[in-house]
Every structure is written in structure tokens, then in C-alpha cells.
Amino acid sequence: MPFIPHTADDVARMLEVIGARSIDELFDEIPADLKASSLGAVPASLCEMEVARLLGDRAARDGRLLNFVGAGAYEHHIPAPVWAITTRGELYSAYTPYQAEASQGTLQIIYEYQSMMCALTAMEVSNASLYDGASALAEACLMAVRAHRAPEARRILLPRSVNPIYERVARAITGHQGLALEPLDYDRATGCTTIAALEAAAVQGAAALVIQQPNFFGVLEDVDALTDWAHAHELKVIAVVNPISLALLKPPGEWGSGSGALKGADIVCGEGQPLGVPLASGGPYFGFMTTRMQNVRQMPGRIVGRTVDLEGRPGFTLTLQAREQHIRRSKATSNICTNQGLLVTAATVYLSLLGPAGLERVARACVERTAELVRALTRVPGVRLRFAAPRFHEAVLDLDRPVAPVLEALAARGIAGGLDLAERYPELKSALLVCATETKLPEDIERFAAALADILRKADA
């Protein structure tokens, strides 16, 4: 009986105490006609050794690719202590710290995490995580609408240079509450959102402008101008940022020229995965969200606060719970309950190990490797750089042919060569989004360039 410790003797004695003749009798309140028949699709039990063999074989079958895909999930070196600590039983197998006194470890880690996210984004409060970057944007949109003075403001201006998957997710999640997400086109030369595009949009009933920095094309937006424009039009600014990039880039809390309540973005969110979380086929990652203190009561998700105990000593506890579903039920800021705590632990350890200097090194290496990648790939005949604007660690390349077969040929050589943009951007028919982080060596970049050149040449021949 896997994971069940009962001996026959235990069962007999327990049934005796209960006063039942069999375990089956304990289910006598279930109407007989509902009782399930056997589970045909569930195979017989395997022991750990057998499952390990099965999974090992499957993993080997999937193998390892030299990865140049980014598009919202980024390969970074994960320091060995991160998961050594994160998988410690005390952190891995605890739950939501409802009993604060028996959960000070988790609580202090979350408090430290919140502090780090505030520091990175230059905001005042952080929650304890949301599910992922995409759903965090959805929550941010809902929050912006709640926080906006005008109750009829339910439109969100959403540039097309924002991750298109985020757009899909935000639409799926916010649509039922009647939010309208309105696309803003990007400048074809720079890949950026322009004031001109904003001016062309109807401001009427708009609650917020979303600004992604660096944007989906890896290009840097003019965040100051966009923020000022939004605030001038009484729109909240929702910043979507890559936390690694914040070692180099102006933090959302300082975007624009405003001051006081108008200083910087109003809500900051994004994908936390780059901070020590493995790619892992897409999850679990975590979404982060920070904001100004004035908005805290509109914030979704758990928040940890520092307080004192009976003896006046500092301690940590879940707080401001009146925002949450278990207290406010249908009036809650969100339905989120279980979040992504373990990943937050990983991120907290990651940021502690990197520190400001380490994070800057990582970010600079990303910028440099990507510049090298762009140089190497654009030397390949038939490959051109699409957008000329300054970038972080991604770039859009134009090929002289459709991207999909090229990516397949690269995969056959063990290279994940980027993301084909054709599906999401019809106007970018043969555009490839590539990424290089600090994990890439010069020989990796060479290998990619050589393979690409070879593939394009062979296809031509």
C-alpha cells in the first residue's frame, strides 16, 4: 500500500474504536448506485525504481537543446544553493503560513522577497506572488480598473509590443468582468510603442496603459514619455518588466517626470521565472506584483507584514487579509488562494546570492551576448535585423524565407533557435525572435550561426 502505513492490526483496532466492521462501512452514506467501478485508465502501481526508469527514459528521449528561445521564459544560470535550499522539507512541504508562530521561516522569506521586489521595481509594497507573469498582468488590469477613480473606466490600452500570450491570458481572465483590452500598434521601424499610436487611441473610458519594458521584441520602450502621457490622460500605468533587466534599466517606480502620487508606474508586474526558476517546460513559475502603498487595498494575493509578539519581539504574519477570498468571498480583490510560494523562495535565495553587483553582471552579460548573437546571425546571408532600437536580451531577425522549417532543421541539430513570430504577428511573416543570456558561450553562438548558415545554404541549393 504505497504511502499508507497501516498494518492489518492497526486497521482492526481502529475499526473497533470506530465501531465499524470494515472500511467499506465507512462509506455507507454514499448511495450505492454512485459507487465507482474500477479505474480502467489508471495502470497498476509501479515502485519508485520502475517510475524512475520510465521517467529517466522519457527525459533521455527529450534530450537537451542548445536554447536561444526567450519570449517570456529565460534560461539563466541557477546557483546551486537555490534549489538545495528550496527543496528542504521544511520549506517544500509546509503550506500557507496560517499558523504564523509555526511558520516564521516561510513568513520571513516572503517578507524579504517583498522587500527585494520593492527595491528592484522602486515601489512600496509587493504581494507574496501570483501564478505567473501572464496572469499577473490580468490581475493588474483588474486592479487598475478597481483603483481608477472613474467606475466606468474599464478599457485597458495594450500595445501590441506587449507579449501576445499575455494579451491572450489577460483577455481570458478579465473578459468576464467586461474589461476591454485595446491593441495599440507599434512602430514598424523601431518595434516601439509611440506617442503617436497613443494619441490615435480613444482615451475615453480607459483606465490604464500597459507598458512592457523591454518589450516583446526585446526593444526598449521610451517609458518616460509613455508614462507621462498616460498620467496626463488620467490613466494608470501598468508596468510589465523583466526583473533581471532592472539591474540596468530605470525601475518603473521612477518612470516619467511625475512626482508624488504620479511618480512612476502605478502597478508593476511580471514574470519572476528569470530569478532562479528553471525553464521546466513552462512552470511552475511565479508572477510578481508591486505597487504604491496607496493602492495596497486593491492588491490581489497574500501579503506578509512584520509585527510584534506578546513580548514585543518582532515576528511576521499574513496581513491585510480583508482583501482576500477567505475573508471577503465574492468581494475579494481576486480569487487567488494557493500561490507560487516555493518559487518565491527560490527567487529570494537567488537574489540574495546575486546581490546588486551579481544581478548587474548577469544583466550586462545578457546584453553583450545578445549583441554578439545579433552580429553573428546577421552575418549569415539571408538574415537581417528587424528593429534598430536599443535592446536588452532579445532581438527580432528577418529571414528571407518562412521561419518554421528553419527552426525544425535547427532542432534536428540540437538547437532551439528562437520563436517564429508569424502566428502572432501576421505582418512579421518571416521574423524570428532570438535570445541569448549569460549562459551562452562564444562557441554556442558560433554553433548557432554556423548551423543557420548551413541550413539556409542547403535549402537554397
Partner 1 sequence: MNKHGDREPLIFELGKPGRRAPSQMPPPASSPLDLPAHLKRSAPPALPEVSELQAVRHFTRLSQLNFSIDTHFYPLGSCTMKYNPKACNSLAMLPEFLGRHPLAGEPQGFMACMFELQEMLRDITGMQAVSLTPMAGAQGEFAGVAMIRAYHRERQDDARREIIVPQAAHGTNPATAAMCGCTVREIPCDASGDIDLAALRAAVGPHTAGIMLTNPSTLGVFEHRIAEVARIVHEAGGLLYYDGANLNAILGKVRPGDMGFDVIHMNLHKTFSTPHGGGGPGSGAVGVGPRLVPYLPIPLVALKDGRYRWLSERDRPSSIGRLSGFMGNAGVNLRAYVYMRMLGREGMVRVGEFATLNANYLMKRLVQIGYEAAYPERRASHEFIITLKQEARRYQVTAMDVAKRLLDLGFHAPTTYFPLLVPECLLIEPTETETKEELDRFCDAMGIIRREMEQEPEKLRSAPHTMPVRRLDDVRAVKQPDLSFKPAA
Ligand X SMILES: Cc1ncc(COP(=O)(O)O)c(C=O)c1O
- Rounded to a whole number, what is the distance in angstroms from the first to the last CA of the chain? 62
Element (H, E) at 419: strand 419-420
- Does position 330 bind ligand X by CB under 6 A? no
- CA 168 to CA 156: how far, in whole Å? 13
* φ, ψ dihedrals at 381, nearest 5°: -60, 130
Output the CA torsion 179→181→182→188 (10° steps): 170
207 exposed, middle or buried (CB, 10 Å; 0-12, 13-18, 19+)?
buried
338 lies in the site for ligand X, by CB under 6 A: yes
Closest by alpha carbon to 226, among 242, 248, 211? 211
**Interface with ligand X (CB under 6 A), residue from 54, 200, 337, 411:** 337
Per the structure block, which three cell numbers stand in for 254?
521612477
> Which window, 47-55, 184-192, 395-403, 447-455, contacts partner 1 (CB under 8 A)?
47-55
What's the one-letter identity of residue 258? Answer: G
Binding segment (CB under 8 A) for partner 1, from list 35-43, 189-197, 226-234, 445-453:
35-43
**CA distances for 147 relative to 154, 207, 223, 258, 461, angstroms:** 11, 9, 21, 18, 60
Report residue 416 as a C-alpha cell: 532551439
Q: Binding of a second copy at residue 379 (CB under 8 A)?
A: no
- Report the residue from 185, 187, 368, 444 that binds partner 1 according to the rule CB under 8 A: 368
305 binds partner 1 (CB under 8 A): yes
Q: Please report, as residue ranges, which positions from 419 to 448 form the binding site for a second copy (by CB under 8 A).
A: 438-439, 441
- Give the one entry of ligand X, a second copy, partner 1, none that residue 458 binds, where binding means its C-beta sits below a cut-off of 5 to 8 angstroms depending on kind: none
**How near is the Cβ of 43 to ligand X at its closest, in Å?**
27
CA 3 to chain centroid, in Å, comes to 34
* Shortest Å, Cβ 135 to ligand X: 12
Residue 441: name its binding partner from partner 1, a second copy, ligand X, none (Cβ under 5 to 8 Å by kind): a second copy
Amino acid of residue 103: S
**Which residues 140-169 are close enough to bind partner 1 by CB under 8 A?**
142, 163, 165-166, 168-169
- Does 411 sit near partner 1 (CB under 8 A)? yes
Q: Candidates 21, 89, 196, 426: give the one binding partner 1 (CB under 8 A).
A: 89
DSSP summary character for residue 135: H
Q: Is 196 in the site for partner 1 (CB under 8 A)?
A: no
Residue 45 is a binding residue for ligand X (CB under 6 A) = no
Positions in the binding site for a second copy (CB under 8 A):
48-49, 52-53, 77, 79-80, 84, 87-89, 438-439, 441
